[in-house]
Structure 1
Amino acid sequence: MSSLLGPADIRTLAARLGVRPTKTLGQNFVHDPNTVRRIVRAAELAPTDVVLEVGPGLGSLTLALLPEAAHVHAVELDPVLASALAATVADRAPDHADRLTVHSGDAKRVAAADLVPAPTALVANLPYNVAVPVVLNLLAALPTLASGLVMVQKEVADRLTAEPGSRTYGIPTAKLAWYADARPAGRVPPAVFWPVPNVDSGLVRFVRHDPPPGDRERTFAVVDAAFAQRRKTLRSALAGWAGGPDRAEKALVTAGIDPGLRGEALTITQFAAIAAAAPAAPAGSGYGRRS
């Protein structure tokens, strides 16, 4: 049985380690046991799941995950926190300590070969400043990730789960949709964190699906171009990518997309169709190149 960390435990442990939460690393530690239990429930884990936790910090969520999963890979950027996590788990969850592997390093650079057994679920309280690239990079790098539950800034949660046509629909929404179906899974108040952030957090649950037909890099380039000038019609916004407005219009018509629409109206499948329909930009034109 795991003994979860409360507010006093968090502060005592941080003081013993000489840890002061920093904005640079986006450190806001969850100190409410009910919140971490809620996160684990929302993740809908099976006993056979291998969990990847990014940014375990002092171990609040880790302790709640270990009894519910076959194994937990905890990836921590802060070397002091990474070196202390195993001892915290051994002290508070000795029956499950053998299920934990701690990795000291940057989650954006994790490779599948680093994680044995292969992770099947991502469950994490993600630093606000890197949440989107971490999720997208992990889904790209780890094809075994079948589902996830992440806690992010509420504004980011709204973007990741937005529907086409909404004001919050944009690049993160479309790119996540390449990999998975995402939905909001609840709001988390600031008071459950130490230090207390000045924004609410949100839970995002996602389940991987097969990507649409087409090339991911090419499709993502279309997404980037469409939202770089989101107030423009697709005919204008995609002109630089396609090699001119006429070429953009031709690709859009071929893909069955109205050139007068804006990017926020399209699904990821429609973006993929545009990418497949557009011919290569003329040699030496400079179009379609990204620095």
Structure 2
Amino acid sequence: MPSLTDLSTIRALCAKYDFALSKGFGQNFIINPGVCPRIAEASGIGPGWGVLEIGPGIGVLTEQLCRRADKVVSVEVDKRLPPLLAETMAGFDNFKLVLQDVLKVDLRALLAEEFGDRPVAVCANLPYYITSPILMRLLEEKLPIRNITVMVQKEAAQRLCAAPGTREAGAISYAVAYYSTPKLLFTVQPGSFYPAPKVTSAVIRLDVHDTPPVTPPDGDEAGLFCLIRAAFSQRRKTAANAVSNGLSLPKAQVLQAMETAGLDVRLRPEQLTLEDYCTLQTALRRPVGNN
């Protein structure tokens, strides 16, 4: 099989299977031959590992994963791709295609059935328009996944990997940091794709925590992230004002809670750490006037 990063090969395959790239599915095929081996290596997989891939496309990254791992299961929503992948992945008996929407399939059951006790990594070139929903589902469901290595839009990568308490952080930065240790690995230029997107991409790796770095009061993770989202819903305001508006709480109650938590009431949302938000969450649960 000729190289799947060769543009003439891609065009021939698309013509053979009457396949046209779909903007709706965010399809951009990788044509830089150095990118996919680098992504696969960065994921840390090897013999004994299972890999869940999301959106295999024509199999450019998939074949690199299959060369390294025991088994690769690729979840694909585009019903036009199976015949094409049957040809490009014919040389790998450790590859399986699951024709499903990754946001709807029972991932826990899928991982148990396909990988058993193997350590599992997620690896993907994610469609930009659903990057956050996919990553949050993988993290929030606390699936048996060791790490997640994905290529996303550069701006999204920077936000996902921003440390809580820094200017670049957003609400999703706190969620990512709660569930994992993120690292921005390298950038990928538009010319590495066909068709070339208008933005630069970046590869990130999230090493999933066995235990989160902070503990919300009573283990109320949903409450913690509701508080953080409220704070960032108006990030130009102080955290106190944004939380008051976002959660429909009296401002006096929020100010008292911040003082109880030992936090400066002038702080903006991105200036608080994960631990600060947990402390504030605890203080907000106390009756007003009870210090």
Q: Same fold (TM over 0.5)?
A: yes
% identity of equivalent residues: 36
Give, in whole Å, the separation in 1 of the partners of 2:162 and 2:103: 24
Structure 1: unaligned runs, 5 residues or longer: 283-291
Q: C-alpha displacement at 1:168, in angstroms? A: 2.7
Q: C-alpha displacement at 1:59, in angstroms? A: 0.7
Contact 2:189 2:200 in 1 (8 A): yes
1:19 partner SS: coil
2:115 partner SS: coil
Q: Partner letter of residue 270 of structure 1?
A: D
Q: C-alpha displacement at 1:176, in angstroms? A: 0.9
Match of 1:192 in 2: 192
Matched, 1:177 2:182: no
Q: 1:117 aligns with which of 115, 118, 130?
A: 115
Contact 2:164 2:274 in 1 (8 A): no
For 1:1-291, list aligned pairs within 5 A. Answer: 4-6=3-5, 7-90=7-90, 94=91, 97-111=92-106, 112-115=108-111, 116-117=114-115, 120-209=120-209, 210-211=211-212, 212-214=214-216, 215-240=220-245, 241=247, 243-279=249-285
1:44 partner SS: coil
Q: Partner letter of residue 114 of structure 1?
A: L
Q: C-alpha displacement at 1:108, in angstroms? A: 1.6
Shift of the 223–89 alpha-carbon distance from structure 1 to 2, 3 Å rule, reads: same
Give, in whole Å, the separation in 2 of the partners of 1:21 and 1:257: 51
Q: Partner letter of residue 269 of structure 2?
A: G
Larger helix percent? 1
Structure 2: unaligned runs, 5 residues or longer: none
Q: C-alpha displacement at 1:253, in angstroms? A: 2.9
Give, in whole Å, the separation in 1 of the partners of 2:97 and 2:14: 18
Contact 2:254 2:284 in 1 (8 A): yes
Q: Partner letter of residue 252 of structure 1?
A: M
Match of 1:288 in 2: none
1:107 partner SS: coil
Contact 1:5 1:32 in 2 (8 A): no
TM-score by length of structure 1 reads 0.88
Report the number of matched residues: 276
Q: C-alpha displacement at 1:242, in angstroms? A: 6.3
Q: Partner letter of residue 179 of structure 2?
A: Y
Give, in whole Å, the separation in 2 of the partners of 1:61 and 1:219: 36
Match of 1:285 in 2: none
Contact 2:165 2:273 in 1 (8 A): no
